[in-house]
Amino acid sequence: MSTLNHNNLNNRPVGFFDSGVGGLSVYARFKYLLPAENTLYYGDLAHMPYGDKTKEELVSYARTILDFYKLKCVKAVVIACNTSSAQAYDVIKEEYGFKIYPIIQSCAKVIASMKVNRIGVFATQATVNSGAYKKELMMYNSALEVCELACPDWVPIVESGNYDNPKSIAAVEMHVEEMLKFAPDKIILGCTHYPYLMSLLTKFAPKELFIDPAKIFVEYIKNDFESLGLLNNSQTAGYEKMFVSANPESFTEHSKIFYELHKTPELV
């Protein structure tokens, strides 16, 4: 990343992106913790889901969104998507003149410092293929045992809201039972959609077992903003704008479980 040398960055917006509505789980926490910040959110519905895409495709999508945010004069971009953090961040991290926060890399140090020996990770196929969580966690604690398990059928459950469907329940049970064979001390919900499956997950394992990285992630960003002098110190609530690459009506409908939108997102 090139050095931030602009004046008065504080009032510039913070951009967020994800393949769909899942990143709103991170966005909502951010708005709650830092209400004065001006924010933008980009849902890349034209390419959803990200979990089955190649690294080259994911890098291309990320560049398109970051180029868009460059034109919006953001002070930072939050990759509120584990798959993009795993597959695209390492390529694009030095290409832009603003700070980029990837969810996996930002959370790994905190999670690795927990008093645990065995960590499980539920994630998309692309995130598991990258080995990003294992690599980042073991960078800080080489003694950790990490088991990453792909759950490709979980994002569609959340996006559709079909939590009570027997097939949905069976899909969650199958992956939880498989992970429990590893006997993890903690399990990372390594996709921003997955915390919304908690009511199903806790049918098969105790809630204390699961880690939602979103809370850790937003605290990390807040602390970094403070140290860099990037916090917006306004006494009024910041503005927000939503953008999508396709299907604004679908985004509005499916966003309800994550965040209350005040108007239909703009198609870009």
Q: Where among 168, 185, 213 does a domain terminate?
A: 213
Clarify whether residues 131 and 163 are in a common domain: yes
Please tell me the distance from the alpha carbon of residue 104 to that of residue 252, in angstroms, as a whole number.
27
Clarify whether residues 39 and 88 are in a common domain: yes
- pLDDT for 262 equals 80
Clarify whether residues 97 and 226 are in a common domain: yes
Clarify whether residues 118 and 239 are in a common domain: no
In a domain, 197, yes or no: yes
In a domain, 3, yes or no: no
Secondary structure (3-state) at 144: coil
Clarify whether residues 195 and 161 are in a common domain: yes
Per-residue pLDDT of the chain (268 residues; tens, 9 = 90+): 444 444 478 999 999 999 999 999 999 999 999 999 999 999 999 999 899 999 999 999 999 999 999 999 999 999 999 999 999 999 999 999 999 999 999 999 999 999 999 999 999 999 999 999 999 999 999 999 999 999 999 999 988 889 999 999 999 999 999 999 999 999 999 999 999 999 999 999 999 999 999 999 999 999 999 999 999 999 999 999 999 999 999 999 889 888 988 889 999 9
Clarify whether residues 110 and 81 are in a common domain: no
Q: Where among 198, 213, 228 does a domain terminate?
A: 213
Cα–chain-centroid distance for residue 243? 17
In a domain, 248, yes or no: yes
Catalytic amino acids? 81, 191
In a domain, 33, yes or no: yes
- pLDDT for 3 equals 45
Question: Structure tokens of 148?
Answer: 């990453």
Clarify whether residues 26 and 89 are in a common domain: yes
**Phi and psi angles of residue 230, each rounded to the nearest 5 degrees, phi first:** -100, -5
In a domain, 183, yes or no: yes
Measured CA angle at 50 (ends 85, 161), to 5 deg:
110
Nearest alpha carbon to residue 241 among 40, 2, 91: 40
Clarify whether residues 63 and 162 are in a common domain: no
Clarify whether residues 94 and 173 are in a common domain: no
Q: In total, how many domains does the chain have?
A: 2
CA 210, 212, 217, 218: dihedral to nearest 10 degrees?
Answer: -130
- pLDDT for 159 equals 82
Clarify whether residues 178 and 223 are in a common domain: no
In a domain, 87, yes or no: yes
Question: Cβ contacts of residue 225 below 8 Å, gap of 6+?
Answer: 34, 76, 231
Clarify whether residues 84 and 136 are in a common domain: no
Please tell me the distance from the alpha carbon of residue 186 to that of residue 242, in angstroms, as a whole number.
34
**Cis-peptide into 49, omega within 30 deg:** yes
In a domain, 1, yes or no: no
Clarify whether residues 97 and 23 are in a common domain: yes
In a domain, 4, yes or no: no
The domain in which residue 98 lies consists of 14-102+215-267
Q: Where among 197, 213, 229 does a domain terminate?
A: 213
Residue 141: CATH number of its domain? 3.40.50.1860
